[in-house]
Every structure is written in structure tokens, then in C-alpha cells.
Chain A
Amino acid sequence: MTAAKVSLGRFLFYDRKLSGNGTYSCATCHRQELAFTDGRAQSIGSTGEIHPRGAMSLANAAYNITLTWSDPALIRLEDQVEIPLFHREPVEMGMSGRVDTLLDRLKSDRRYRRWFAAAFPGQSDPIRLGNLYRAIASFERILISGGSPYDRLVYGGEMEALADSARNGMGLFFSNRLRCSRCHGGITFSGPTAFAGNRPPRQAFHNTGLYNLGPRGNYPEDDQGLYRFTGRQGDMGRFRAPTLRNIGLTSPYMHDGSIATLEEVIDHYSAGGRTIPTGRYAGDGRASPNKSELVSGFYISRQEKADLVAFLKSLTDTGFISEERFSDPFETPVPSVPP
């Protein structure tokens, strides 16, 4: 990782040239002011196709053991870039079968010729797909969010950084009664993290009882989580616990955006699963045979619920969403030129 790669990656991340019809960049679905989500329940691709899942926050993505909502084998950020660019189910940026078009577009831009050469010195033909992946991944790795009021309390020692309500909520979050931290753990609030010196632990995927269709506890066919990759019924509806950092900015919630507010998310856990009374997805999630045993319901008072929400909002890092280095470089009057 070098400054030149990061800088190049930032331009690429924000460049609409990377989509087939020139309307989309990565940042169309990963907007900085929304902690790099898109505010939609489910994303919409550059050709209007609806993605079965919602865009994930990219905060601290570098520390995730696996990437995306439920792929157990996608590990490197470099490998992820290919999916929005080239995959067709669904179409996101719509470059499928058009690698050469993409590279030609970059090659015909004098700035990219210079920037790729600076980022990948000594290569005779640096404008290549692998280098594009590397540069974008380098940019993603600097998207570190660690300046929330919670961090100021815990790591900065500012004992007043959280108001009493949020502090109570913090106690609830980590309590054995609510057990939120059992799945949303660690520095990322997203389960096990990877870093040098530890052998990456196994990723954990959980079914939180959002759906219970048919006798086997299915999820809607659009997205059945880990089951999609393994075909094992026990993996039905199991997803990665996403990061809760900046969660106050990233509604609506869950892989399909099917819960609108944090209060309702807490109701869902408190009930031990979601009950959908009528319609296509009617079913009692509480009774799902595939549900995690950690989601067994708990009593929570109104005040406690407010406290927990206050705590979740204390994970919002305003520095992260206003950090200049993460912002759209095409918007800045004088584009910062890679060294």
C-alpha cells in the first residue's frame, strides 16, 4: 500500500467511467455522507436492476475476515472489486464483457496514464485490471472509522463523551441479557476481525429469525444467505453480522433493508425473531428451525430501548463522513495529484 495507489484508487472509486453507461461509480452506492452506504433498502444498478441486498458500509472493511453479506469465500478486497464491475446477477456497473472498453477509457485519459505509472512504477503497461483492483482496494483500506463518541470514551479516555443514556445502553449492548456483542463484537462491531499476528478466526454467519417460510424455515428466494453458497439447509438465512459503526446513518436495516428504524431492529431481537402476519412472506420468525440460539428474545423497558438506541448512535463518526481524504476528488477544485 502506497500513497500513490491510495490516491489513484480514490479517483477510480469516484469515477463514472467505470460503468458501462457512464452513470455509476462505486460511490453511487457507497456514499461517504451515509458511511458509504446508499440509503436504499436494496441497491439499484446502473441499468435499473434491483439488487437483492443493500449496499454495505465500507467503514473498516479492511478488517473483515470475509466480505459481503454472506459469501464465505470472498476474502480479499482486490477480489471483491470485480463483482460490481463485471457481474450480471444483478448488473451493478454493467461492464460485463467490456474489459477492453474500460481499459481503453482509462488509457485515453492522460491523468490516468500518469497516475497508474506513479502507483505502479517500473511496469511497462501499468493500466491493467489487476492494478485497478489493487488501487481501489488500497483506497478502501484507508476507510477507517474510529473517531466516534464511543471511541473517544473508550480509547481517548474522555469520560464524558457518552451521555448517561448512551452509557447505560452500552452496558445493555454488552450484557448477557441482550447479547448484541456476541455477534457484533470487536473493534468493528461486526464479529471476528483479521489482522497480522492472529490466524484469522472463522467467519460467523447467523440467522436472526427475520423470515420463516414453509416447513423448513426458508428465507425469500431472492436471498437465502449462506445457503446460496453451501446448499445446506442449516445455512438458510444466515448472514454476516454487519458493522454497527455509523449505524445511525445507514438505515434502512438488514440485508434486504426490511427494517426501517433502530427501534424496530431492537423489537425484532427482543421478540426473538420477526413475525410477519400477512402477505407473501407471512410467517413466525421466532419459531424458525434455523434461527441462532443467541436470538432467543429478552425483556427490554422503554427507557432501556431508548438507551440502547442512544448507544448505537454514539457509534457515529462524524469525522469519517467529512474526512477530506475519503471524499470525491473530482469535486475538489484542484484535484489532489498523486505524487
Chain B
Amino acid sequence: MLKPISIAILFGSLLAVPPLPANASGGSKQPKAASKSAVPPTRSPAEQAVDHYNFGLKSRNKAVRFEEKARQADKASRRAGYLKKAQVQYGKAIREFQLAVRLNPKFHQAFSSLGYAQRKSGDPGAAVIAYDRALALSPNYTEAIEYRAEAFLGLDRLGEARKAYIRLFSTDRGRADELLRAMRKWIETRRGSPENLSKEEIDSFSGWVKDREEIASQTASLDGMKKRKW
């Protein structure tokens, strides 16, 4: 099931992943503009990976805009049309990100973006694998920690989602807050269609989320504290 997503989450991800310059992933220094439609084969694999990554981002951004239009659409048939277009773009994005990580297997941002697009096209299982790769390369990459946790939610792996929240709470409070909102949404959705979850499981998770919401309201963000240099 594709679960509803919040605008805040989208903004978070758009801000966090700006397009990279072509030599970002350690490619050769030669500056070369990416062509519009295809990746010239003369470029190094790392440069090509960045190009594919940037194409992937473009498709993903299109998908996000279609989703936004779907949200604003007044007729159900229109909404469905936009959502379908969004899915086409996510499909394209997935292919570009896959090319990118094949060309540069150390490209943690591309793995993370791959996970994102896979999650949005309703495949949280694949998304978790992609985020695992991103985190193996860059263990403190909070974007991947947050979105992998959302994929965990999609798979009803609640314990792992909770653990991710605690980790983000002291390392990236903005993302922790977003994840908590996604958890709240998950509860609402799941109460409507519990599938193979028991009421007790949902209630217990809901109690935990309520607890953490209260604690969060009482606790100032730590972001920045670790940055202090003496």
C-alpha cells in the first residue's frame, strides 16, 4: 500500500538533496556540462553517475509536482490521472538512480534517493535495502535514517522505526519531528485498515508515539551542540 505523505516530508527531502555538480563524487576535474537527454560516454563513470543522479532528481521532482496537483484536484478521475503520472516519473527516477549506483557503488546520496523513489512507488521492502546501502556507506546520513524508518513503517516494522526516531532525536531534531508526524499518520491509516496488525499492537505503538510527542514538546533541540569547537 502506498501511504499518504506529508508536505513537510517532501520539503525536507527536496531541501536536503540539491543537485550535485558533475564532479561531486570524486570524478575527474574536467568541467563538462551534462547534456539534456543522454549521458555522453566520454565522461568518467563517477561523472556519469552524477549525471544520472541529477536526471533522477528531475524525474522525482516532477513526480512530487504531480502529487501536489493530485492533492489539489477537485475530481477523483483527475486525481487518479495525476497520481498515475507521478508514478511514471518515480519509475523513471528509479531507473536513473539505479544506473547511478551501478556506475558508482559508493554514491550514498543516490542509494538514499533510490530508496525514496522505491518507497513512493509502493515498494518499501526494496527501499529498505537501498537505505541500508546508503547507511552502510555513510552511517550518520540522517536523511536515510529518517526515510528508512518511514519504509519500516510501511512494512509494519515498528521496533526499528522507534529506534530510528530515538537516534534522530539527538542528532537531527527536524527529521525526528518529521518522522514522529509520519508515525502519527501511520496510526490513523492503520486504525482504518489494520490488515494483519492487532488492535493491541496499534494501541501500544500509539501510546509510545503519544509519550514521545509529550517528551518532544518538553525538550529543546540539541542540533548544533555537537558543533561547538573549543
Contact = CB atoms under 8 A, between A and B. Distances in A.
Nearest to B218: A174
Interface in B162-195: 162-163, 165-166, 169-170
A156 B228 CA distance: 22
A316 interface: no
B33 interface: no
Contacts of B219: 154
Interface in A120-143: 138, 141
Looking at chain A's contact residues, is the secondary structure mostly helix, strand, loop, or mixed?
A: loop
A271 interface: no
A157 B218 contact: no
Contacts of B228: 62-63, 194-197
B215 interface: yes
Nearest to B219: A154
A55 interface: no
B215 A196 contact: no
B166 A170 contact: no
Nearest to A181: B218
B169 A1 contact: no
A196 B230 CA distance: 9
B230 to A, nearest CB: 4
Contacts of B222: 155, 187
Nearest to B230: A1
Nearest to B166: A157
Interface string B210-230: 010011011110101101111
B218 A187 contact: no
Contact of A195 (B166, B170, B227): B227
A155 B227 contact: no
B218 A196 contact: no
Looking at chain B's contact residues, is the secondary structure mostly helix, strand, loop, or mixed?
A: helix
Given A171-B214, A187-B220, A157 B225 contact: no
A260 interface: no
Nearest to A157: B166
A197 B218 contact: no
Contacts of A159: 208, 211
Contacts of A1: 230
A90 interface: no
B230 A138 contact: yes
Contacts of A195: 224-225, 227-228
A185 interface: yes
Interface string B107-122: 0000000000000000
Given A154-B219, A156-B166, A157-B162, A197 B227 contact: yes
Most A CB within 10 A of own CB, among B163, B170, B214: B170
B214 to A, nearest CB: 7
Contact of B227 (A62, A157, A187, A196): A196
A159 B207 CA distance: 11
Interface in A195-219: 195-198
A185 B166 CA distance: 21
A194 B218 CA distance: 19
A319 interface: no
A196 B166 contact: no
B115 to A, nearest CB: 23
A181 B217 CA distance: 12
B197 to A, nearest CB: 20
Contact of A187 (B166, B225, B229): B225
Contacts of B218: 170-171, 174, 181
A22 interface: no
A220 interface: no
A231 to B, nearest CB: 33
A196 B220 contact: no
7 contacts: A63-B225, A154-B169, A155-B170, A157-B166, A171-B214, A194-B228, A195-B225
Interface of B: 162-163, 165-166, 169-170, 208, 211, 214-215, 217-220, 222, 224-225, 227-230
Given A154-B219, A155-B169, A159-B211, 11 more contacts: A154-B169, A155-B166, A157-B162, A157-B166, A171-B214, A174-B217, A181-B218, A193-B225, A195-B224, A195-B227, A196-B228
In the A-B complex, the 3 residue pairs with the smallest Cβ-Cβ separation, listed nearest first, are A157-B166, A174-B218, A195-B228
